Amino acid sequence: MTRPPAPTPRHERGASLIELMIALVVLSLGILAVAQLFPAGSRGQLSDRMLTNANYYAQEKIEVLNTLSFVDAQLTDGRHPAGMATEACGTSGNWHRYYEVSTLAAPLDNLKKVTVTVQWTFMGNRQTQSTTYLRR
């Protein structure tokens, strides 16, 4: 004759349905919190790419201006292009740039300060500036 199995104590039983539901809710909240990081990372990556391209366009203009003679018309004091006009950059035209030239006062009058500004719109209006000094 076999004996019936002894009843298991309450603390050794498996998880109840309520405990499993609570564990699933906590796990779901954790997964949702991590999932929100991905769009933020993508926005940050795109913003950084826009800034990198803007810096490239500013450096590109500085290199072109660096090859000009000190008295070239493109290096006259003032904003270029004049007024509020800007030069479109890139194939999509998302970036706009202009530059300002000023001749320094004596005894540094053999130097021109050139500041190139590149503007773009991504999650608001943004801009970056690069400055160089050109020598006679």
User: Containing domain of residue 26, as a range?
Assistant: 15-135
**pLDDT score of 129:** 96
Q: Is residue 114 part of a domain?
A: yes
User: For the whole model, what pTM was predicted?
Assistant: 0.72
Q: Is residue 3 part of a domain?
A: no
Do 112 and 37 touch, CB atoms closer than 8 A? no
Q: Is residue 122 part of a domain?
A: yes
Place of tokens 């660096």: 66
Q: Is residue 9 part of a domain?
A: no
Overall number of domains in the chain: 1
CA angle (69, 72, 78) in 5-degree steps: 125
Relative orientation angle of helices 37-66 and 17-35, to the nearest 10 degrees: 10
pLDDT in tens, the chain (136 residues): 677 776 666 666 677 888 889 999 999 999 998 888 888 888 889 889 999 999 999 999 999 999 999 999 999 999 999 999 999 998 888 899 999 999 999 999 899 999 999 999 887 899 999 999 999 8
Q: Is residue 111 part of a domain?
A: yes
Task: Give the residue among 67, 60, 52 at the shortest CA–CA distance from 120.
Answer: 52
Place of tokens 């000190």: 70
Distances (CA, A) of 121 to 42, 49, 78, 84, 124: 17, 13, 25, 17, 6
**pLDDT score of 10:** 63
**pLDDT score of 13:** 66
Do 54 and 118 touch, CB atoms closer than 8 A? yes
Contacts of 90 (CB under 8 A, 6+ apart): 53, 57
**pLDDT score of 16:** 86
**pLDDT score of 8:** 63
Contacts of 59 (CB under 8 A, 6+ apart): 130
